[in-house]
């Protein structure tokens, strides 16, 4: 099988072009055509010989859109993609003011096995390739261009779909490099966020190789016993070690770490939980994102009522940590956090 064009970052493409003695402008023109203009047809602006070379040696196909689910409530769109080996993954477009954030998947299934997450029930099938990650973005953009013309603006990229992105670091890093490339989609580094359950080997690589890409940590409980129940890898990589590691990574002036906290009824939603969390994070460059639990078929936990959610936030406010309650979008099509499962 031919390698995919969409697995190449800009330096990879330049190397191929130099080795094969094509005009050096070909790299810029191809990236512009496929990533800025998001065209999937043969690029008309390079020499016939360069075009023939790329068509013979590279695969330009994108993951096929199997099903599109459009929320009637809030215009969230969920895509089920079919990959070349028939595995499936989901991607979500989350609207804000006629613009979108895209929630990308990084793996088919996930190895983390968190007790509150629908994806975890699938187990890990395999890592996605860079081209399958880029393909989710390009196909979602193209769908917007043909179905919601004028709205094809995807301004934020979050690796919060299926999978643990830091457990598939190489492919995720290369996708970030293409997103960031001025010749590619040219997305600002502060607009990309990688969310992790706290996988320390991946955190090390993030801090050494792409530290300007934003990080979100799924914290979910400041207490070890509870966090062990929610996120089994906490036994191997305890929260204390994760936080100690993150704390010593130098951040840019405007850079924050986002701490995600799923609020689960009668489990981690008390004032005592909030206080312990506040103590843990006070004084850090932190944002807290409270995510009221999203139920899915067969889930064992429940969402707390609105009062409980607001009381929890009120405690955190006393610690002067900026806290946001993440609104529920797309839950009518099972597109909210933790509801992605592409087994069927
Ligand atoms: N593996 C990564 C990214 C995927 S999950 C991580 O763990 O961060 C993206 C976010 O959705 C995480 O914060 C995750 O904990 C949260 N999430 C998972 N299941 C959820 C559910 N049922 N309800 C609410 N949030 C959930």
User: Which residue minimizes the CA distance to atom 15 of ligand 1?
Assistant: 218
Is 50 found in the same domain as 134?
no
Structural domain contains residue 74: yes
Q: Looking at the CA of residue 338, tell me the nearest atom of ligand 1.
A: 19
Pocket probe mutation, ligand 1, options 101, 172, 262, 342, max atoms within 8 Å of Cβ: 262
What pLDDT digit, counting tens, does each position of 239-257 carry? 999 999 999 999 998 899 9
Is 308 found in the same domain as 209?
yes
Q: Which domain holds residue 287?
A: 64-333
Q: What is the pTM of this model?
A: 0.96
Cβ–ligand 1 distance for 124 under 6 Å, the answer no
- Say which CATH number the domain at 284 has: 3.20.20.70
Is 297 found in the same domain as 200?
yes
DSSP-derived secondary structure for 127-179: EPPHHHHHHHHHHHHHHHHHHSTT---EEEEEE-SSS-GGGGHHHHHHHHHHH
Rounded to an integer, what distance in angstroms lies between the CA atom of residue 310 and that of residue 305? Answer: 9
Is 133 found in the same domain as 43?
no
Is 140 found in the same domain as 216?
yes
DSSP-derived secondary structure for 286-335: EEEEEEEPPP-TT-S--PPPHHHHHHHHHHHHTTT--EEEPPP-SGGGT-
Is 244 found in the same domain as 129?
yes
Q: How many CB atoms lie within 10 A of CB 234?
A: 23
Two tokens at 289? 């994102």
Is 205 found in the same domain as 153?
yes
Residues with catalytic annotation? 90, 337
pLDDT at 51 over 70: yes
Rounded to an integer, what distance in angstroms lies between the CA atom of residue 108 and that of residue 127? Answer: 6
Q: Looking at the CA of residue 164, tell me the nearest atom of ligand 1.
A: 1
pLDDT at 336 over 80: no
Structural domain contains residue 49: yes
Structural domain contains residue 344: no
Structural domain contains residue 343: no
Cβ–ligand 1 distance for 46 under 6 Å, the answer no
Q: Looking at the CA of residue 289, tell me the nearest atom of ligand 1.
A: 13
pLDDT at 342 over 80: no
What pLDDT digit, counting tens, does each position of 148-199 carry? 999 999 999 999 999 999 999 999 999 999 999 999 899 988 999 999 999 9
pLDDT at 339 over 90: no
Mean pLDDT of 51-68: 97
pLDDT of residue 343: 63
pLDDT of residue 98: 81
What mean pLDDT is reported for the chain? 95
Is 111 found in the same domain as 20?
no
pLDDT of residue 122: 87
Is 269 found in the same domain as 193?
yes
Is 68 found in the same domain as 30?
no
Beta pairing partners, 81: 65, 89
């Amino acid at each position: 099988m031919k390698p995919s064009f969409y697995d190449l970052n800009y330096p990879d493409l330049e190397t191929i072009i130099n080795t094969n003695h094509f005009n050096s402008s070909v790299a810029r023109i191809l990236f512009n055509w496929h990533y800025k203009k998001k065209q999937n047809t043969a690029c008309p602006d390079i020499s016939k010989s360069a075009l023939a070379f790329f068509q013979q040696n590279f695969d330009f196909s994108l993951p096929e859109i199997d099903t599109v689910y459009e929320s009637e409530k809030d215009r969230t769109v969920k895509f089920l993609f079919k990959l070349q080996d028939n595995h499936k993954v989901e991607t979500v477009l989350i609207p804000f003011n006629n613009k979108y954030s895209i929630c990308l998947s990084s793996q088919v299934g996930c190895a983390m096995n968190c007790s509150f997450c629908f994806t975890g029930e699938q187990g890990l099938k395999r890592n996605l390739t860079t081209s399958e990650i880029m393909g989710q973005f390009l196909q979602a953009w193209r769908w917007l261009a043909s179905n919601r013309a004028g709205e094809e603006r995807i301004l934020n990229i979050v690796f919060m779909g299926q999978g643990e992105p830091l457990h598939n670091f190489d492919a995720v890093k290369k996708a970030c490099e293409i997103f960031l490339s001025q010749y590619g989609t040219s997305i600002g580094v502060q607009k990309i966020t990688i969310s992790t359950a706290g996988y320390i080997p991946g955190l090390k690589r993030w801090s050494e190789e792409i530290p300007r890409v934003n990080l979100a940590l799924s914290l979910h409980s400041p207490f070890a016993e509870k966090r062990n129940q929610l996120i089994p890898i906490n036994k191997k990589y305890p929260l204390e070690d994760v936080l100690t590691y993150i704390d010593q990574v130098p951040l840019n002036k405007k850079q924050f770490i986002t701490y995600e906290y799923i609020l689960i009824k009668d489990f981690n939603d008390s004032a005592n939980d909030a206080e312990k969390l506040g103590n843990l994070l006070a004084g850090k460059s932190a944002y807290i994102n409270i995510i009221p639990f999203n139920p899915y078929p067969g889930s064992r936990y429940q969402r707390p009522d609105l009062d409980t959610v607001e009381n929890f936030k009120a405690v955190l406010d006393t610690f002067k940590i900026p806290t946001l309650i993440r609104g529920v979008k797309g839950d009518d099509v099972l597109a909210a956090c933790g509801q992605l499962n592409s087994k069927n």
